[in-house]
Amino acid sequence: MDQVTQLTRNHEIALKILRLLHNRLEEARQRFGQRTSDAIKGGDGTSALTIPNLAQFTPWGAWHYTADFAQRSVLFWDALRQRGNEFIERNKAGIKPALHFDYDMVLDARHFERPVNYALLSIRPPEGVVVDVKKRPYLIIDPRAGHGPGIGGFKDDSQVGVALRAGHPVYFVVFSQEPEPGQTLLDVCAAEQQFVRKVRELHSDSPKPAIVGNCQGGWAAMMLASSSPEDTGPILVNGAPMSYWSGAWSESEVPNPMRYAGGILGGTWLSSLAADLGNGKFDGAHLVNNFEYLNPANTFWDKYYNVFANIDTEPARFIEFERWWGSYYLMNREEIEWITRNLFIGNKLWSGEVSGPSGKSFDLRAIRSPIILFASMGDNITPPQQAFNWVADIYSSTEEIKARGQVIVALMHEDVGHLGIFVSGKVAKKEYTQIFNVLETIETLAPGLYGMSIKEGKGADGKTEYEVSLTEHRLEEAVEHFNELRREDEKPFKAVAVVSEFNQRAYELFVQPFVQHASNEMTARLLRDFHPLRLQRWAFSDLNPWVAALRPMADAVRASRQPSSDLEPWRKVEQRGSELISASLDQFRAVRDASIEALFFSIYANLFAMYDPDRLGEHGAGTSAAADPRSLPFVQAALASLRQGGYNEAVARTAFLLAPKGEPLPLSRIETVKQLVDEYADDLPHLPPADWRRIRGEQELIATFEPQQAIQTLPDLLASPEDRNRLLTLLDKLLADRRVLRIPPTPAQEEALRAIRSVLGATTALESQPQKAHAPRVRATAS
C-alpha cells in the first residue's frame, strides 16, 4: 500500500472516530442534563425549595432528620463492620459454596489421577419436594470468574430450585478457593467429563443429563459437550461470552466497554504479570474489579446509599449478597493464560485451534444435543452478540446446521443485567421454568436455528400463565439482525491479537524471569491481602480498633429507633442529592468509556489498516451470502443422495413435505407432536436422537431444493412393498387421529399429501377422508 493511500485511510478513520466520539459525548451530556433536571425537580416535577414546599421544613423536622441521619450513619457503618467480620470468618473457616440448598459430596476431583480443585455435589431436595430419579438429571456449572460457585442455587427461586420443583435430580459442579498445583483448564474439562459419566451411572434409566452453564461456565459446558458428545444431553448456555470480540453497537453510547480492555492493556501479558506476582497464582479479585469498574455509580455510591436509605431492612440482604460477591478465588498461571490467549484475545475456541483432553481439537460442531442460548439485551458484560455470534463463526450457513442435524434455540431477555440472568428470582420463575419445561420437547425439533418467545398472561383463575412458542430463523438473517455494522467493528481485534502476541513474547523474554525470581508466597500473600477489594473489607472490621465502639453504639441506636412523621421532605432532598451524585458518576463513566473506545479504534483500526487483510486474516469464518444456496457443499452432498436411503429417510422426507412452513410453533403443538411420536413409535424409525436429527436435516435440504423430485423418488427409498405399506399405514393412522383432525390443513399440505399417496400407489381421492383430516401437521412423524 502506497503512502498516499495509507494517509487517506488513516484520515478517514480519524474522521469516523471523531464523529463517533462527538456523538457519544453529546448524548452523555444530554442524559446528564436530563437526570440533573429530574433530580432537582423530583418526581412531582417541582423543586423542593419552592415557597409552598418550604413550609414543610420545620425546625422540629430538621432536628428529627439530623437525629435520624446520625442514627442511620451509625447503623450503616456497623453494616460494613459486619461485612468485614464475615469476610474474615469465611476466609478463616474456608469459603463454602453460596448454595441455598443442602448437598452431598459425590466426587472430589482433588483425588483424581490429575487432581483439580473441583467437586460434584448432589443437591438434596428441600422438605416437601419429591424428586423422580428416572427423570432427566441436571448438571449445573457455575463460572470461575473471580467469585466462588453457588449463583445457580443462590436462592430458592433459582436454577436449582426450578429443576428440583419439576422433580429432576440436580447436581452441582463446585470448586475450592485454591487450585491444585499444576492443574490446567484441560484437566478441569477431563474432571467434568468424569462428573457427567458418574451422573449417567447414577441415573442409568434416565435420559442423558442436561448441562447448564452460567457465564464462563457456559463455555466450559460447551467444551465438555464437544469433547464428550456421547455423554451429554441438551446444553443450556446462559450469558456465556463465546465470541469475545463481538458486541452491540450504538451511535449514542458505548454499550459494551469491557471488550476494549484487552486492547487498551496491550493483550494477555498483564494477566501473566499478575499471576507471576502471585507466585504462580492469579487472584480472582482482579476479575471482580473489572466488573466493579464497569459501573462506578453503583460501585462507589448507589449500592451503599441504598443500604443507608433503607437501613432498617436492607443490611441483611446486602450482607448476604456481599458474602458471595466478596469471596475471591484463585487460578493457576496456566489456567488464566489459557483463558486469555484462547478466548479473551485469541477467540480460538470456535475455530478448532484448541485441543481438548483427548488431544483432538475442540469442535463445537461435534455437539449433537440441542443447544439453548439465553442472553439479555441489558447485559453489558456478555451482550447477545458475544453469546450468539459463535454460531455464525462455526457454521457457514443455515444449510450446514441442518445437514449436521443440530438444533440451536435462542432466548432473549429485554433488560435484565448480567448477574440478573443467574440470580434474579423473576428470571428463574419465568425463563428457567419455561426452558426446563420445554427441554424434552426441544429434542423433538427438526434441525435448525430457532427463536424462543415467552408471552405472559393471566389465566381464567387470575394466575400468571406463560405461552411458549418457537420460530425458525435463517442464520444469515439472525446475524444481520444482531450486528448492525455487519461485524466490521470486530476487524481491529485482529490487530489486537497480533500486538498481544508480541507483548506476551516480549514480557516472557525480558521481564518474566525477574518477576518470578522476586516473587514468593509471602509477597504474593501480601499483594492479595492488600488488594483494594479485600482491604476495604478487613480494614473495616473488628480487626481495626478504631471501629471497636461501633457495635455497642449500633445496638443502642437499634434499641432507640423510632419513626417520625416529619422526615419525608428532608428525605426527598437527600434522595435528590443522591441522584445528582449518581448522575455525575454515570457522566464520568460515559466520558471515560467514550474516550477509551476512541483510543482503541485510533490505535487498532489504524494498525489494521496498515496491513493487507490477507495478512491478518479476514474476520472469522462467518456466514457467507452465497449467490445460490444450492451451490453450498452440504446442499450438494444432500442432493447427491436424493435416491439413496431407506424407510428412515422416507419418513423424514415425508414429514418435512407435510409439515407447516414459515409459522411459529406453539408449545402445545410441539407437545402434541411428542405425544404422537410416543403413541406411534412402532411405525417410526428407531434411531438415536442425534442420528435422527441428522437424517431429518439432510432430507429437509433435499425437499427444500428439489421438492418435486423429493416426492417422485420416494419409491426408490421404499423399494420393498412392506416399507411402502408401513409408511401409508402410518399416514392413515395420523389422518384418523383426533389430535390431528383438530388442526385444519393448508392447501399446500393437501397437495403434498395427494402427491405422496399417488406416487406410492395409494388412492389419490381424498374425498373419503373427513375434510379436516386431509393433511396432518406431521412434525409428529418427524420426531
pLDDT of residue 566: 84
Top-ranked range on mean pLDDT: pick from 241-245, 728-732, 745-749: 728-732
Mean pLDDT of the chain, nearest integer: 89
Band the pLDDT of 775: cuts 50, 70, 90.
Answer: very low
**pLDDT of 206 over the 70 cut:** yes
Shortest CA distance to 347 belongs to which of 421, 267, 290?
267
pLDDT of residue 48: 54
pLDDT of residue 574: 94
Least confident of 221-235, 434-448, 462-476, 603-617: 603-617
**Residue 146 backbone class (left: φ over 0; alpha: ψ -120 to 50; beta: rest):** left
Which residue has better confidence, 20 or 668? 20
DSSP single-letter state for residue 361: B
User: Mind listing the pLDDT tens digit for each residue in 490-505?
Assistant: 999 999 999 999 999 9
Are 670 and 444 a contacting pair, CB within 8 Å? yes
**pLDDT of 219 over the 50 cut:** yes
Mean pLDDT of 122-145: 95
CB proximity list for 307: less than 8 A, separation 6 or greater: 76, 79, 314, 315, 318
What are the residues facing 371 on neighbouring strands? 235, 408
Mean pLDDT of 271-287: 97
For residue 375, give the C-alpha cell: 442472553
What end-to-end distance do the CA atoms of the chain give, in Å?
A: 56
pLDDT of residue 770: 44
pLDDT of residue 756: 93
User: Mind listing the pLDDT tens digit for each residue in 12-56?
Assistant: 999 999 999 999 999 999 999 999 998 888 755 665 555 456 778
Q: How far apart are CA 174 and CA 192, in angstroms?
A: 10
Architecture of domain 103-243+347-487: 3-Layer(aba) Sandwich (3.40)
**pLDDT of 772 over the 80 cut:** no
Are 478 and 449 a contacting pair, CB within 8 Å? yes
Mean pLDDT of 503-521: 97
Band the pLDDT of 464: cuts 50, 70, 90.
Answer: confident
Q: How far apart are CA 259 and CA 697, in angstroms?
A: 36
**pLDDT of 444 over the 60 cut:** yes
Helix (H) or strand (E) holding 123: strand 118-123
Provide the CB-side half-sphere exposure for 684 (13 A, CA): 24
pLDDT of residue 50: 53
Query: What distance lies between CA 58 and its chain's CA centroid?
Result: 53
CB proximity list for 621: less than 8 A, separation 6 or greater: 350, 351, 392, 393, 394, 396
Are 283 and 349 a contacting pair, CB within 8 Å? no
CB proximity list for 212: less than 8 A, separation 6 or greater: 138, 139, 140, 141, 152, 159, 221, 236, 238
CB proximity list for 422: less than 8 A, separation 6 or greater: 151, 152, 154, 159, 214, 215, 238, 239
Q: How far apart are CA 189 and CA 211, in angstroms?
A: 13
**% of the chain exceeding 70 in pLDDT:** 93
Are 587 and 25 a contacting pair, CB within 8 Å? no
What dihedral do alpha carbons 136, 142, 148, 152 form, nearest 10°? -60
Shortest CA distance to 375 belongs to which of 242, 221, 222, 232?
242
Q: At what angle do helices 269-277 and 492-510 cross, to 10 degrees?
A: 40
- Of all residues in the chain, what percent are helix, strand and coil, respectively (each to 5)? 55, 10, 35
What length does the chain have?
783
Let me know if 564 is exposed, middle or buried by CB neighbors in 10 A (0-12, 13-18, 19+).
middle
Let me know if 1 is exposed, middle or buried by CB neighbors in 10 A (0-12, 13-18, 19+).
exposed
pLDDT of residue 765: 34
Strands (E), 346-385: 371-376
Are 411 and 266 a contacting pair, CB within 8 Å? no
Cβ count near 401 (within 10 Å):
23
pLDDT of residue 46: 60
Domain extents for the chain? 103-243+347-487, 629-773
Mean pLDDT of 648-661: 92
**pLDDT of 783 over the 60 cut:** no
To which residue does cell 429434542 refer? 443
Are 474 and 433 a contacting pair, CB within 8 Å? no
Top-ranked range on mean pLDDT: pick from 340-349, 594-603, 732-741: 594-603
User: Mind listing the pLDDT tens digit for each residue in 562-598?
Assistant: 888 888 889 999 999 999 999 999 999 999 999 999 9
**% of the chain exceeding 90 in pLDDT:** 66
Mean pLDDT of 672-691: 89
- Letter for the amino acid at 507? Y
pLDDT of residue 764: 39
Q: How far apart are CA 592 and CA 584, in angstroms?
A: 12
Mean pLDDT of 372-378: 94
